[in-house]
């Protein structure tokens, strides 16, 4: 029991630092896919933070929405951003614009 209470501040500090570090990595990563994965990891750590703050409802919401769905949305958007058909339509647009000018 004693050790647990002693460990708690250490854990909190580590978690806080990890959150900041992950956010920083996610935002600075040159690779978009990596950035999104890091962001999802960041979300998972947020869930831990909510639990630590005695907010289980928020933790659940974060786990399901903040991490799960946002992550899925981001990955789907990235896929479409890199996909061929969209790139093709860009190309078409560009050609159309050229034809216009």
Partner 1 sequence: MKKSNNAKPITENDSRQAQFRLLLAVPLSALAVGLGYAVLSLPSQAPGLSDHVAAKLEISGVSNPVTAVLLNFRGYDTLLELGVLLLALLGVWSLGAAPKRREPSPGLVLELLSRLLVPLLILVAGYLLWVGGHAPGGAFQAGSVLATAGVLLLLAGWRLDTRFSGLPLRLALVAGLGVFLLVAVVLMLAGGHLLEYPPSFAGALILLIEAAATFSIGTALAALFLGGRPEKGSHR
Partner 2 sequence: MIPAFLYALVGVGLFTLGLYALIIHAHLLRKILALNVMASGVFLVLVALAARTQGMPDPVAHAMVITGIVVAVSATALALVLMLRVRIATGRAELAKEPLE
- Residues forming contacts to partner 1 in the complex (CB under 8 A) are 56-57, 59-61, 64-65, 68-69, 72-73, 76-77, 80, 83, 85-86
Mark 16-55 with x for binding to partner 2 (rule: CB under 8 A) and - for no binding.
x--xx--xx-xxx---x--xx--x--xx--x--xx-xxxx
Are 67 and 44 in contact, with CB atoms under 8 Å apart?
Answer: yes
The option from partner 2, partner 1, none interacting with 72 (CB < 5 to 8 A, set by class) reads partner 1
Segments in the chain forming alpha helices (H): 2-28, 32-52, 56-61, 70-82, 84-100
Q: Is 7 in the site for partner 2 (CB under 8 A)?
A: no
Q: Is 95 in the site for partner 2 (CB under 8 A)?
A: no
Are 49 and 19 in contact, with CB atoms under 8 Å apart?
Answer: yes
Give the span between the Cα atoms of 88 and 94, in whole angstroms. Answer: 10
Residues counted in the chain: 101
Which residue's CB is nearer to partner 2, number 2 or number 30?
30
């Amino acid at each position: 029991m004693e050790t647990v209470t002693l460990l708690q501040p250490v854990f909190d500090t580590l978690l806080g630092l990890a959150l900041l570090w992950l956010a920083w990595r996610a935002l600075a990563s040159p690779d978009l896919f990596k950035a999104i994965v890091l962001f999802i990891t960041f979300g998972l750590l947020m869930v831990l933070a909510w639990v630590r703050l005695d907010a289980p409802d928020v933790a659940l919401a974060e786990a399901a929405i903040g991490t799960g769905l946002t992550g899925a949305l981001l990955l789907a958007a990235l896929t479409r951003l890199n996909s061929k058909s969209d790139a093709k339509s860009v190309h078409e647009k560009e050609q159309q614009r050229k034809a216009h000018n």
